[in-house]
Amino acid sequence: MPHPGWLRRFFNGEQMAVNINHKDLKQFSSKKILSYSDAIKKIALLKKQGKKVGLCHGGFDLLHPGHMKHFEAAKKLCDVLFISITSDEFVTSRKGSGRPVFNENLRAYSAACVEFVDYVVISDFEKGIEVIKKLKPSYYIKGPDFINKTTPGITAEREAIKSVGGEMKYTDDPTFSTTEIIRYVKEELDRKKVLFVLDRDGTLIVNTGFLGKNKEWKKEVELKKEIIDFLIHAKTKYDTTFIVVTNQTGVARKYFDCKRVEEINKYIGELLKEKGIIVSSWQYCPDADSAYAKLKKGQIDFDYNYVKDKTKRKPHPDMVFDALKELKMDLNEFEKIIVVGDAEDDELLAGNLKPANASVKFIDSNNPTYSKLVKELEN
């Protein structure tokens, strides 16, 4: 792997940011990208014509010079080079949250743009073994770091290519690490630290009114796509921390209990994680103000264990401070604080956060567009 100093020179000490508009992937298409069934037919035809078909398989995330040299070296070993791109699901399961950086369509397009690559397929298989057995290439081509490896995975791949009448081939290109490059960008380049304080109902998800009141509450959960795309954009540009603070008076109203709130938070967190958004802390207030309960007496059957003179409900900033305490962080660590919400309480919360060194901005999540949200973030 190249020395980190190489990485510093490669990135030229500048901030790198990926700004992808997820709404229109049609422009990222290529005639080189084949469906799996077409790829199988094409390889069979090429082999019948006496061509030696090479196959490279991997995530190929954040395409870099190391990938280019690997493809160049692989093409020298065969007549026709196929690249198999691992689908998003299996890249995430192997590499963890936040990966891949680019989705499978964009990764396939990037590979197809490389002159040494003849065809590309997206493979929805966990391991290269299944890919080899389905596509049946003449050669399965790996980097030089696999020559002497005897792990169960590479051993199984050697057996798989042999079982379809092919051979294992190895390139002699230098080894680069995508994971190390991503780590360098995230940890060593100077990116602004931004805290996102997010409302839940009406912001992250469509507001259905006291979510959790019904047993089939999961059917009511719908992520707000514009907000999610906006958060993905923010995550690629800044060193972000996401926390969620939500008022949940449904507990005080006896609509559901705290356990239900936590189940919902966990479920929404899992949906966000699938999009590459990790919420570091979930905070909620189940209480109702005593003045409000007095006003609604006879209309709402309150659980008075959750009716209090002083609560942590927004617009009070207490839940934000609880989240930071849990994370062992401080408001003044951030250069910018963004509060995203759909109600007056969220806007007032932004005004109640008074860091010494950071700017605080409120962004309204009511009827947003992606471009408007991005513009507001930069203003």
Tens digit of each residue's pLDDT (9 = 90 or more) over 230-281:
999 898 888 899 999 999 999 999 999 999 999 999 999 999 999 989 999 9
Q: What is the pLDDT of residue 17?
A: 32
pLDDT of 67 above 70: yes
3-state secondary structure at position 145: helix
pLDDT of 176 above 90: no
- Mean pLDDT, to the nearest integer, of 28-56? 94
Q: Which band of pLDDT confidence, cut at 50, 70 and 90, is reported for residue 121?
A: very high
Cβ-based neighbours of 287, under 8 Å, separated by 6 or more: 249, 251, 252, 306, 307, 308, 311, 312, 313
pLDDT of 66 above 70: yes
Report d(CA 160, CA 140) in Å as an integer: 9
CB of 202 within 8 A of CB of 364? no
Higher pLDDT, 64 or 157: 157
Higher pLDDT, 2 or 370: 370
1-5, 211-215, 340-344: segment of lowest average pLDDT: 1-5
- Token code pair at residue 235: 């995550």
Mean pLDDT, the chain, integer: 88
Report d(CA 117, CA 80) in Å as an integer: 8
- Mean pLDDT, to the nearest integer, of 35-64? 93
Q: Which band of pLDDT confidence, cut at 50, 70 and 90, is reported for residue 16?
A: very low
Q: Between the ranges 146-150, 158-162, 370-374, where is the mean pLDDT highest? A: 158-162
Nearest CA to 224 out of 282, 272, 273, 278 is that of: 272
Q: What is the pLDDT of residue 91?
A: 85
Question: What is the per-residue DSSP string for 246-311?
Answer: EE-TTTTTTSS-HHHHHHHHHHHHHHHHHTT--EEEEEEE--EEHHHHHHTBTTB---GGGEESS-
Higher pLDDT, 6 or 115: 115
- Mean pLDDT, to the nearest integer, of 144-167? 93
47, 160, 205 from 229: Cα distances, Å: 43, 40, 13
Q: What is the pLDDT of residue 190?
A: 64
Q: What is the pLDDT of residues 282-312, one digit of tens each?
A: 999 999 999 999 999 889 999 999 999 999 9
pLDDT of 57 above 60: yes
What residues does 54 pair with on adjacent strands? 81, 139
164-178, 256-270, 312-326: segment of lowest average pLDDT: 164-178
Q: Which band of pLDDT confidence, cut at 50, 70 and 90, is reported for residue 173?
A: confident
Nearest CA to 226 out of 318, 339, 364 is that of: 364
Residues above pLDDT 70, as percent of the chain: 89
Report d(CA 318, CA 285) in Å as an integer: 10
Give the side-chain half-sphere CA count within 13 A for 150. Answer: 1
Nearest CA to 179 out of 187, 170, 191, 169 is that of: 187
Q: What is the pLDDT of residues 178-200, one digit of tens each?
A: 667 766 666 666 678 999 999 99
Q: What is the pLDDT of residue 15?
A: 31
pLDDT of 226 above 90: yes
The residue whose two tokens read 């990790």 is: 278
Q: What is the pLDDT of residue 225?
A: 93
Question: What is the reported pTM?
Answer: 0.54
Q: What is the pLDDT of residue 63?
A: 81
Report d(CA 113, CA 224) in Å as an integer: 33
- Token code pair at residue 44: 């069979």
β 279-285/288-289 pair status: unpaired
The residue whose two tokens read 């932004």 is: 350
Report d(CA 185, CA 205) in Å as an integer: 30
CB of 301 within 8 A of CB of 253? yes
Q: Which domains does the chain have, with CATH numbers?
A: 4-180 (3.40.50.620), 191-378 (3.40.50.1000)
Q: What is the pLDDT of residue 221?
A: 97
3-state secondary structure at position 157: helix
